[in-house]
Structure 1
Amino acid sequence: MDTKSTGKNGRYYRAHVSSFNTNVLYLKTPWIPAWWSAAFPGAGHIIHGSYAKGFILFLWEFYVNVNAKINAAMVYSFTGQFEQAAEVINPQWALLYIPVYIASIWDSYRKTVDINKLYILAQHEKIPIVPYNLSSLALNFLDRRQPRLAAIWSALMPGMGHLYLKRLPVGFFLLVCWMVCSYYGNLLPAIHLLLIGNFKESISTLNIQWVLFMPSLYGFSIYESYVLAVEYNKLFKQEQYDFFKNNYQSLPLKLRKYT
């Protein structure tokens, strides 16, 4: 946040509105980011707005999981094909996977607790929010958003709900991840075969190693876009309230009685 534009310096800010993104502090249940980190490492950190760590963990999940064949082994295990699961998994990569996976869950939980404390301090300090950012490349501003519409866009194509909310880094990142998983998972050819009635061929076309990434990506995109829309609306209302209170509401205001 640009403290010069607020006219007041402070330690803790509730939000940062940049040209390409709006990052906001809000209270979260610590188990929710931890759960999303368990579903897909890095997702919990993206919820916090820690994009660098979240994106790196996302890429790590793709790279190590694909080399370890963990998703494929999980599918074989769930269907009772334990011998095939043991054959397909790569123990060397799988052993590298486990420590980082656990650390991702723990770190997202720990960070949620700390961010909740920062949110309380920021609410107490009440540094003015800059609702508008204009640069030579982009424009971003606080506005009312429709949470259901954000969720619908994410359901149609993961990442689009975040683009609707002007959360461009996450939006484009999720969009690219979904496209990569769809391509390597052979999702669209499988859907085409399903629509023309070739059910067995449709299932055999899928690459289960890549397809198993998609439910977590899909659910996370819908969930976070909806929650962010709700929090952005709260931030917009708070900024409006603070502005009118500080600039137009006089403390000794008295209403005259008309008879």
Structure 2
Amino acid sequence: MNDSFTHLGTVTAPSGVLVFGMATWLDLWPEVGQPLSERAREAVAAGAGGGHLVDDEAEAVAVGVDGTRALTVRARTAPSPFDEEPAIAVLEVDLGVPWPAGREAPVLLGDLPVDRGGMVLGDAVGLDGWTGPEGEPADGLADVSYWGRDLEEAHQRFGGVRIPQYDGDPQGPYGWLDLPVGTAKALATEVAAYRGGVVSSVDPHTDFHLLHRAGRTRPLGVGAIEVGGCPVLGFSWCQGDHAVRHHGERDWGRVYPVTLDRGADGGTVLRWSIPEWAEEE
């Protein structure tokens, strides 16, 4: 494991409650009961500074923070057993509040799986407005990408630009960004019908997609967007790495502890720890 921390960015939580949860399911909370922010406030008020939220497939942790300051986010990395590329091993967030006097041991808030759709960190109230993968884009726009065996022939016919990828794969998809949804769907249908060796995809501008798009060219898939007027950070996993280490998620026991710990400066940090892969797994 890399013993040094890499700075990933900052977030703010004006509501005083920070949420770290599974990106795919964040907009499920209003459908299964109380809004996310209400559940998060209750978890923080119940004591210990935070708690684990779970309902059906939606999971998150909520913690109390200093809502007046930027909160630093960093990570330690370890090589993925899939491709040896760095992957998050420890995610740490400064909460802006002092470590309680007299508390000796870390506080276990619960555990979380690595969501195949990525993880999100942001203000509890801001995330009430999160749009997931099946949501409607607030700006009415979408992105189109296409790829496959006949990619170059299709590109000569339809055009488009390379969609940026972190690994700079020269065989990555072509496509168009920021099109009206109707135009995007019509274009994707036309491209897909051109030849059997071409596949197309339409991605409406949901928060889920835009956060992935923001992190597409960055190490560790770290992206930043604004949701509900607050900056939000997202973390994406290589799908190969997820399949090797995290597939099955909670159903297969692939869950990792989330704790409140004493930081190096005497403050409180939120820490999510993913142990290194063991060959016997």
TM over 0.5: no
When normalised by structure 1's length, the TM-score is 0.25
TM-score (norm 2): 0.24
Q: Which has the higher helix share?
A: 1
- Greater Rg over alpha carbons, structure: 1
